[in-house]
Chain A
């Protein structure tokens, strides 16, 4: 490190030597770990051409692509609905009337505390039992919407609350109405503060579409199971899941980079009085949000 950190002083000659030795040792350990994994892969024949052959076939590529599209479709629909849900419940929670505020608080807090999979099961098992099965797509989307919508409602509320009180006070003083204060003063500033947190939550939502696998919605992970389970190609689970993981990591990684870039860009422009809302992504995944 070029400058001293909280934990370590700038290294002197002794510490530099020690760090260099530790560096070499840890590189050796990491290389040994990778070598062991590669050896294990090789020993069990994961590099055999037969196990990778499938990915050359157009039909298999289509299979992966349609899985990816199903994932993206569920994520896109759930994103739109969750944003709407979040906007409605955030405004209800910010309302001056307890009649709106109390039920909205209850709903938002409840849905954030329920495991997402259980919410999806509500949409899947309950209609199924009454002989009125809904599409697995909608069971997944409803679960994702209720959970992520509640989280987004909290992000929106935190964003609006992050705008200093003087801003709305000033706006009321010049004679703006409540609606105008929200629309002209609070939202534009809050939007900047919460944009990175929103994008981070959407990454969480995209990752959580993988729960559709459990209710056998044919998304990307489900396609992976199909491709990996083919006996004719020597059950290529390992290569297939590596490919699927690479797809998820690159898409979510790109979105994470976008969130990071937005955060950097928005904090550089000091035009909003609101402090950025902390991204929930750092607090966990698969619907991990501070309660």
Chain B
């Protein structure tokens, strides 16, 4: 047990830097993919066929591509197009591009859970598009979206570890450093698992809480 604790205290700065970068990646890519995903979702439910087709193509291509390939493309192929991006921003872009496809799907299916009759009734009362959207559709759709949205974000948090394979020092990169220092890997990996559980647990609790609070009876 003493040995187990020593692994953490002796390498505290590495663990700290790693997890700080993990949280940074999570926050940047989280905001990025929420914005891009919502935009794509809006395209997929728009009345304009070209935008719907674009959204659908994006989602189907990205969803069937491994995230590791998206990373590899950004890190190895994109510099060959004379576009030079540092490793950390590359990781943020890769996570954003990948995650927004899933957020797009959540947005789309969230909007589709609202019964057409709801909007029809609102229009019959003479509400404008903005009113229908903000007073009728979104309040219901957002409630349906929140639990799956949290799932996507939790998955994205776990996916940040893949950046370790592409020269970003985050939590997933710690084992490689520790292998050089000759620290017992089982202890190292267990500490990383504990770190992730600490990060994920509040998100899960929040998800369950919102799910219960915002449950819609349909």
Contacts of A289 in B (CB 8 A): 151, 155
Interface residues of B in 119-142 (CB under 8 A from A): 119-120, 123, 129, 132-133, 137
B40 located at the interface, meaning its Cβ lies under 8 Å from any Cβ of chain A in the complex: no
Q: Does B159 interact with chain A (Cβ within 8 Å)?
A: yes
Bound complex: CA of A207 vs CA of B197, how far in Å? Answer: 24
Contact A9 B162 (CB under 8 A): no
B interface footprint on A210-246 (CB within 8 Å = 1, 0 otherwise): 1101100000010011001100000101101100110
| Interfacial chain B residues near A7, Cβ < 8 Å | 45, 111, 119, 129, 132-133, 137
Q: Are A283 and B45 in contact (CB under 8 A)?
A: no
Given that A7-B119, A126-B189, A283-B102 are known contacts, is A221 also in contact with B68, CB under 8 Å in the complex? yes
A185 contacts the other chain (Cβ, under 8 Å)?
no
The digit string for B35-78, where 1 denotes a CB below 8 A from any CB of A, is 00000000001011111001000001101111111001100110
Q: Are A118 and B196 in contact (CB under 8 A)?
A: yes
Q: Knowing A221-B66, A253-B64, A282-B105 touch, does A237 contact B82 (C-beta < 8 A)?
A: no
Interface size class of A (residues with CB under 8 A): 35 or more
Tell me if B89 counts as interface (CB < 8 A to partner A): no
A256-B151 in contact (CB<8A) = no
Chain B residues with CB under 8 Å of A174's CB are none
Q: Is the CB of B109 within 8 A of A282?
A: yes
The verdict on A290 contacting B151 (CB below 8 Å), with A221-B68, A285-B98 known, is yes
A283 touches B155 (CB 8 A): yes
Instruction: Knowing that A116-B158, A203-B64, A291-B151 touch, tell me 9 more A-B residue pairs with CB under 8 angstroms.
Output: A5-B116, A7-B111, A23-B50, A125-B179, A125-B188, A221-B66, A237-B77, A288-B102, A288-B155
18 example contacts (A-B, Cβ-Cβ < 8 A) are as follows: A6-B116, A7-B111, A40-B83, A44-B82, A113-B204, A115-B196, A118-B161, A122-B189, A125-B188, A128-B185, A207-B66, A211-B68, A238-B80, A241-B76, A245-B73, A249-B65, A283-B102, A284-B99
